[in-house]
Copies of this chain bind each other. A is one copy, B any other.
Amino acid sequence: MFSAQNIGKKISEAGIKPSLQRIKIYEFLLKNNIHPTVDFIYNQLVNDIPTLSKTTVYNTLKLFEKQGLIINLIIDENEIRYDAMKNIHGHFKCDKCGKIYDFEYNHMQLEFLGLNHFNILKTELNLKGTCPECNQ
């Protein structure tokens, strides 16, 4: 499904050289759709790559985002989260367990009033509350 070649190719197509670190980071995002923080990614990958630096994770994710390979989520203060799923979708963060869920919404029917001549580059729909697991 996500072979090393395919991952490297995707990175290349975004105009980024596919180094070992970059491949591993992008692979992690593709295989784990959990909207991880930098810290989480670092702690998972440092097992594979003992020399990995957290700065590299920061730089790489920022580069990926700039090149449009991934998106970032600002759903809570003091943490940026990353997502390799680029189709339009919303996010729900559970106040209790902290898990972030994807959901779809009828974005085609969404209408903004009073934004004539605004150049919209990014749309973020974030919900908060409690998830079914925590509602028991």
| A interface residues (Cβ-Cβ under 8 A, vs B) | 74-77, 80, 90, 92, 95, 101-106, 109-132, 135
Contact = CB atoms under 8 A, between A and B. Distances in A.
A73 to B, nearest CB: 10
A105 B76 CA distance: 22
A109 to B, nearest CB: 6
Contact of A112 (B75, B90, B119): B90
14 contacts: A92-B115, A95-B121, A102-B114, A104-B113, A109-B109, A115-B127, A118-B135, A119-B130, A119-B131, A120-B128, A121-B128, A124-B126, A125-B125, A125-B126
A113 B127 CA distance: 13
Given A120-B129, A129-B120, A130-B118, A105 B111 contact: yes
B92 A120 contact: yes
A80 B77 CA distance: 7
Nearest to A113: B104
Contacts of A101: 114-115, 118
A118 B92 contact: yes
A115 B95 CA distance: 15
Given A112-B127, A119-B129, 11 more contacts: A101-B115, A103-B113, A106-B109, A117-B132, A117-B135, A118-B130, A118-B131, A120-B127, A122-B127, A124-B126, A125-B126
